[in-house]
Every structure is written in structure tokens, then in C-alpha cells.
Structure 1
Amino acid sequence: MGNLSILDNTKSQTKIPVTVLSGYLGAGKTTIMNHVLNNRDGLKVAVIVNDLSEVNIDADLIQGGGGLSRTDEKLIEMSNGCICCTLREDLLREVEKLAMEKRFDYILIESTGVSEPVPVAQTFTYLDEEQGIDLSRLCNLDCMVTVVDAYSFWHDYSSGESLLERSQAASEDDTRSVVDLLIDQIEFCDVLILNKCDLVAEEDLEELEGVLRALQPRAKLIRTTNGRIDPKEILHTSLFDFEEASRSAGWIKEMEAPAHTPETEEYGISSFVYERVRPFHPQRLMEWMENWPEEVVRAKGIVWLATRDTMAQNLSQAGPSIQFGPAGYWVAALPLAERAVILQEEKELADKWDDVYGDRTNKLVFIGIELDTKKLIRSLDDCLLSDAELALDWSKLEDDFPSAG
């Protein structure tokens, strides 16, 4: 009866459901895909496998895995590019064709290991005006899945390598670091599959799970070995919601949460928000960042540099990757008329408005393992302008940060 109910449900749907598997190279996406295809309760499935190289090895492995019927089902290989960028138009057209055939119950997509999930999700969520294709009329993006390699995660996280250095970049212009890609994949998903758990000690697994939950508190976290997962965990889940997924990262949840006293959580993983209405001295902050605390796994937020009084700066850290640059104008730096309109529309901003500095503030989220929160806060406070420095001309302070705004 269980098999019949799944099939009946799919036939009553007007839109074909789609599940997308993301995850860094070697995490086990293909193994999971083959396991699902061999245990899918009779669903007629179309599979799209994306590979950066000219030879689509993963597609060969799936075709040879015995999970697809060569007569009733379809395997589409998308090679020599990435569906989140260079092959995005191809993905639009292929999915549209599959949906129009009306002979499949489900579409499963395995993205390349260097694919970012957000652009792929956008492909299914919004009208592509250039191509004139609106996949949201034909498909229902059901579940975004990210596969994490429990054995290799910390090695990749701390490697400091770029995708170019590993010869894994989507193009010659792809300057992403390995850790930034890992974090992007983790912070935007509905289900996190922690694979290869048999290769990691229980204590280390529990710590890694704690970190993943801190990075992505919304996603359902599932442990697997050799990719063995119940297909119901990632098929017909109705879990995907673009707005929710876009705001599901742990740092966003922490940033939006009411002020609270930081507490050490299970396995020593904790987080806190650092917020001060006083600018940073650029050189002292630079020195602090050059000696970044190893226990901080993830940091994200807005920085107010004394030398950049009109422009807020964005700080984003994951492992050895630290990005810093302009985030936009402070509302307080805008012309009076424009400022008045914004304050009228955004009550929360108006309520927090400082009589002297307006909306200028430092607000940073820190997530880490065995954080000494009080020590970190003291060290950051030491980077702020002193009372004596507040009275000086801030523009004359030395500023070696890039992209001055």
C-alpha cells in the first residue's frame, strides 16, 4: 500500500517535483543518488547529472548502477560546465523539456561538486526573461540537499586552498576558496546529509554535527554510511521555501534573535553577537584579523571603520578565508530627504537610531568551538576608538584595508 500511495500522490500533482543534490567533490552524491534510484518505490525518474569535465564519470556510474530503466526513464548528462553558471540556460531548457513530456514522476539533479545551490534554486523559482522560461509553472522544487563528507570536512575547511589551486574551478575567473564553497552549500539547504560517518569517531561526529547545526539550524541533519538513506527523507518532502532557505544560515538567525546572554552549548559549540555603537580603529582591527582566533569557525556581519564614515563594511569569515569590503552606505550618510523616507518606512531602524551616529554600528556574529566569549569581546573592544581618539579627526588614521569606501 505504501508504494501505491506514493504513486497516487505524484499523479495527482500538476507540477513535477524536483530534488537537487549539492555537496563538495567526493562527498558521496553519486553513491546517494544510486541508492535512492534503487529504492524509489516504482517512481519514474528523470535524472540530470552535472559534471565540470568533458567526460561525465558520475553519469556513467549512475547509468551502470542499475537504478534506472533504459526504456521508461531518462539520464541527461550536462558536462563541461556548471549548472549554477555556465550551463544554467541548458538546465532551463532540459528541465522544461522533461516537464513537458509529462511521463516522469520526479526529477533528480546531481549538481557538480563546485556548484552553489542558490543560483540553481533561483532557476526553479523565478522567470528567466532572457529565455522566456518559467520553471515554477512546470516544476515544484521540493528539496535542496547538501551532502557533507564527515571524514574530509575539517581538512577541506582549514586547507586555505582555492578551487583554482585544486584544479576544480568552474572557469579561469573562478576565485572562490574551498571553504567558502563548503559554507555556501551548507548555509542554503533543507536537508544536510552527513556521509561517511563510519570513518569518523563518535565523539568527533558529535562535534561536527554541533558545528553543522550552528551553521545551518533549519536543515534536517541525517547521518549516513555509504550513502544509504531512506528516499523519503529527500523525495516528496515539501521542505523547500526560497525565502526560508535564504534566511536559514545560523549567523542570520543569531543576528535576528533578541539579545541574549551567550551560553556554551553542547560539545562546546556556541555563538554570540558582538554589537557596539563605536567605530573600529582600522589598524588595530587589521592586527586583530591577522591573528584570527582559531576557535572561531564562522563570522559574519557589518563593520564600522572610523576612516570610512559614509560606507558600511561587510566582514565574512570561514576558516582561513576572510573577506572584507563595502556593504553599502550608512543611512546616516545619505541626504536628509532620502534618510527621512527610509526612517519612515523602516520602524526598526528608526527605533535603534543613535542621536550622534545614526545607524552606524558594529554588529558581528561569531560561531565557534570552545569560545572564550568574554576574552573575545575584550579583544574586540580594545580595537575600538578610545574616548581620546573619538575627539580626533578620524580621516587621518592609517587605513590599510582594501577597497576603501
Structure 2
Amino acid sequence: MISEAQCFSYWSCSQACLWRKGKTSGCVQQLHDICLDCDGDAVLLLVVQKGEACHTSRRSCFYNAIKGDELTVLVLNNKVDLISEAQKEKLVAILRSLNPRARIVVSQFGQVPLSNILNTGLFDFEQAAQAPGWLKELRGEHTPETEEYGITSFVFRARRPFHPTRFWQVMDGVVRSKGYFWLASRPEFAGSWSQAGGIARQALGGVWWASVPKERWPEDAESLKFIMSNWIDGIGDARQELVFIGMDMNESKLRNRLDSALLTDAEMAEGPQNWRHYPDPVEPWFEE
């Protein structure tokens, strides 16, 4: 798949040169409250209601909070005296499932040694690019200690497209899901899926190599090896690869629902020319 790169860069301006990569000390996001949903299905994070992230950004406060938890290197949990020990352990486990490499510090009345916050040297640009829990799951790097608190995860893989309507109906009820998906109505393209709590985002993720003329393929052996490692005759490299992280998830039930959203044998036989005419409730990736 030719994917749309997810890049994050930090730069500083100096007199010596026009642009120079600067040292990233850190970026702080304040969470007003962190509480557990009473039914245990999600973590609800209420971000302080100010700033661009809450009012002018395309993404919701909840989405940005979850995204921040995935990329941060240090999480401070204050006012832990207001919750029980069991709730505290559960909260830490949820945060650990979202970001296995973060240092998690609990405190009361905001009393935290400055050495735990300033000049920690924890941030690593390359690790941050690869750190989120969903990427670790895709690579098979599971975090088993979270299972004690009912937090589980799994990767759904399939080599046939989703029916667009059935796919849209099935994606709900987990703390976090992310990955790439393949819709029958858009057979050449990979969709990028990202969901946090009740907020879901989908967009164009790239183009399957199966839809790219071979004369435009890369010529180096490493790239060709990667392409062919996901190749199936008649399908190419198109596939479903979605990671699910949730609390007390019924994995078997969710897998069955996902399987039911895939095309049936009869629908597969109709072929891409007919698939394009399926009703498609997913937002378009290109302007008409």
C-alpha cells in the first residue's frame, strides 16, 4: 500500500541556518477530570474547555486527549485520593493499554517532584513515531498486564472487502480502534480508521499496490519484498488490518460482527465493477 505518511516534526529557527531540528522538551496538555465510565466501556476524559483543540480544530477534545495519551512519555494522574485504589489501578491499566511505554505518575494535591517533570530526557522522536499501543498490537507486541483489569486487545485481519453499509454499522463500543480498512465500494483505496470512545474518524489512507501499474512500483529489493509479503493472487495487497483495544470486550462477538460486514461469497463473485454501486454511507475521500 502506498500510504499517506503520518509525520510529526519539531523545528526551531536560528541565525546559523534557516531551519534546524530543535530539542523537544515536551508539550503539556491539562486534563480537567479523568473518570471511569460507569459501565466500564470507555474512559471519559474531559479536557479543560479552552484553546484551539476544543473549539476550532477538526478533531474533538476526546480524540485529542486519547491521541495525546498515545504519544506522551509522561502521564501525571492527580487527585487520586478522590478515587478508590481499584479505580486507580484500572485507570493506570487503561492508560498503559493506550501507551505501553509511558511513565505514569500518580499524585495528590499536585505534589510531584519537579525532577519527574522537567528535563526528564524521556522524549525520543523515533520511538514516539512508533509507540502507540495500536502499532504495537499490529507488530504482535502485546501488553499482558492490562488484562487483569479487563482491558484486552486484538487485531482483525481479513483478505476480502467490507460492505460499506455493514461496516459502518458495526464499528462501535470500544475504547480505541485504529488501522486500515478496505471497502468494496472503493476497491483501489485503503481507508485509514481511527476511533476513540464515541468519536470516529476515517479518511483516505493510501492506494493498494494492486491498483498501481507495475512500471510505477519501486525497484529496490526491500520494497518489492514488502509488497509481495502481503500479496495474494487475485486480491493483491488489499486487506483489513484493524486493532481493537477495549474494556471487557466480547472479542468473539465483535469478530463475528466484523466477519458479517465482509462481502459474502455471492457478493465477491459480483466483482469490483458492481461493488462500486453499493450504497456507501462513509464520507467521500474526494470532492465530487
- Aligned residue for 1:228? 111
| Residues 1:128 and 1:225: Cα distance change in structure 2 (over 3 Å) | same
Q: Does 1:347 align with 2:225?
A: yes
Q: Does 1:335 align with 2:217?
A: no
Q: What SS does the aligned partner of 1:280 have? A: coil
**Contact conserved, 1:143 with 1:239, CA < 8 A, in 2?**
no
| Residues 1:225 and 1:322: Cα distance change in structure 2 (over 3 Å) | same
Deviation at 1:401, TM superposition (A): 1.1
Deviation at 1:158, TM superposition (A): 4.4
**Contact conserved, 2:183 with 2:191, CA < 8 A, in 1?**
yes
Deviation at 1:227, TM superposition (A): 1.7
Q: 1:6-405 maps to which residues of 2 (within 5 A)? A: 122-123=10-11, 132-134=18-20, 136=22, 140-142=23-25, 148=31, 151-152=34-35, 158=44, 168-169=51-52, 173-257=56-140, 265-289=147-171, 292-293=172-173, 296-339=174-217, 341=219, 345-392=223-270, 393-404=274-285
Deviation at 1:174, TM superposition (A): 2.2
Percent identical across equivalent pairs? Answer: 34
Letter of the structure 1 residue corresponding to residue 155 of structure 2: V
- Work out the CA distance in 2 between the residues paired with 1:347 and 1:170: 41
| Residues 1:355 and 1:263: Cα distance change in structure 2 (over 3 Å) | farther
**Contact conserved, 2:193 with 2:203, CA < 8 A, in 1?**
yes
- Aligned residue for 1:42? none
**Contact conserved, 2:167 with 2:261, CA < 8 A, in 1?**
yes
- Aligned residue for 1:7? none
**Contact conserved, 2:218 with 2:224, CA < 8 A, in 1?**
no
Unaligned runs of 5+ in 1: 1-117
TM-score relative to the length of structure 1:
0.60
- Work out the CA distance in 2 between the residues paired with 1:149 and 1:373: 32
- Work out the CA distance in 2 between the residues paired with 1:309 and 1:342: 26
Give the number of equivalent residue pairs: 272
Deviation at 1:340, TM superposition (A): 5.3
Deviation at 1:198, TM superposition (A): 1.1
Please identify the structure whose Cα radius of gyration is greater: 1
- Work out the CA distance in 1 between the residues paired with 2:109 and 2:19: 37
- Work out the CA distance in 2 between the residues paired with 1:221 and 1:398: 45
TM-score relative to the length of structure 2:
0.82
Comparing both chains, which one has the higher relative contact order based on Cα–Cα distances under 8 Å and sequence gaps of 6 or more? 2
Structure 1 window deviating more from structure 2 (392-401 vs 304-313): it is 392-401
- Work out the CA distance in 1 between the residues paired with 2:51 and 2:28: 21
Letter of the structure 2 residue corresponding to residue 122 of structure 1: Y
Taking only aligned residues, the RMSD between alpha carbons, in angstroms, comes to: 3.2
Unaligned runs of 5+ in 2: 1-6
- Work out the CA distance in 2 between the residues paired with 1:211 and 1:346: 38
- Work out the CA distance in 2 between the residues paired with 1:282 and 1:128: 50
